[in-house]
Amino acid sequence: MPEYLQPIGKVTHEGLDVSEFQGKIDWNRVRSDGKTAVYIRSSLGNDYIDARFEENYAGAKAAGLIVGFYHYVTAENTAQAREQARFFVDVIKGKSFEMRPAMDFEYFDDLSSNQINAIGKAFLDELVSYGGKEAVVYTDDYDAKTLWEPEITENYPLWIAQWDVAYPSYTDRWSGWVGWQYTDGGTVSGISTGSTDLDRFTDGILVSDSSAISGTPAKQPTVGCKLIRVTVRSGDTLWGISRRYGTTVNSIVKLNGIVNPDLIYVGQKLYVCDNVKSGAEREDYYTVRRGDTLWDIANKFSTSVKRLAGINKIRNPDLIYPGQVIKLGFSD
């Protein structure tokens, strides 16, 4: 068995991949640093457009980089997968790009291997059918070796993520790689927010036709929406989380492809639009009033008596008093 997975085609571009989390980028400096290709996150879930998508696209193009787009998939079934693929295509309509649109499907919740492959195939097939362009799969080395089945590996090339190694590890599921994300800790001139994903791309990742997908570009994201990742804690509900961040349950449901809004679990990571104005303080303390019970307070802030008692070291949940300050724990 070969020790390394070989590139398919000639390695032609040193590149990177970015999203809104890299902040404002000086693309001319990126180009001067030797980077010639970039994958830009365009979208996520059912309706979220990356807040810096248009800015990054325009800047990268003006600086002379070749461009590709990726979509972060949150689907939990094949119907959602097809819907997200169509949304992805609608977002990038009207844009010219040289690299294959990429599926970034890496957070699987409790889906089975069969479900993951079905969702991935539905997304990719719909992406190609609806958009009319070739697609590529972004995945890490472990999933490249163990997860993806021939219906995907034999039809869509591999953009593999494996960091700090000499070459990507061998897998017999793919014949080679067309993209390799070799570190998540790179430093690039023009990007000041810290570590950046760096990549190498072969000519096998290029689309055969780099003209724009015809159609009208999708609407822009809601002004003021800052996307963050929130970990569900004991006692949380979607209503409580939406209230905490000034958004709506429906927005959280769409961003994360949630089937049952009443079913979330501790430790689950959710994308949320944080609409609390800069400089504003989140409500994190409550002063007990006459007649309050801990149950009343927990219900008011969509949390649990057990959680409030634990945070505040209350031994007897039935014993609180007016003027007592209760920490809600939202900013922990």
Rounded CA-CA distance 33/21 in Å is 20
Q: Are 5 and 159 in contact (CB under 8 A)?
A: no
- Of all helices (H) and strands (E), which one includes residue 129? helix 113-131
Select which of 17, 20, 47, 90 is catalytic: 17
Q: Which two tokens stand for residue 276?
A: 């609390």
Residue 81's Cβ-count burial label (10 Å; 0-12, 13-18, 19+) is buried
Quick one: which of 198, 212, 217, 214 has its CA closest to 49? 217
Rounded CA-CA distance 188/82 in Å is 35
Q: Is 47 a catalytic residue?
A: no
The partner residues of 196 in beta bridges, in order of sequence, read 186
Give the other-Cβ count within 10 Å of 211's Cβ: 10
Residues 293-324 as b/e (b if ≥16 CB within 10 A, e otherwise) read ebeebbeebbbbbebbbeebebeeeeebeeee
* Owner of token pair 């609409």: 275
Q: Is 17 a catalytic residue?
A: yes
Select which of 50, 106, 151, 236 is catalytic: 106
Q: Are 39 and 99 in contact (CB under 8 A)?
A: yes
Helix-strand-coil percent breakdown of the chain, rounded to 5?
Answer: 30, 25, 50
Residues 87/119/129/217 CA torsion (nearest 10 deg): 10
The partner residues of 177 in beta bridges, in order of sequence, read 7
Rounded CA-CA distance 327/56 in Å is 41
Instruction: Tell me the pairing of strands 269-274 and 226-231.
Output: antiparallel
Rounded CA-CA distance 153/221 in Å is 33
Q: Which residues are catalytic?
A: 17, 106
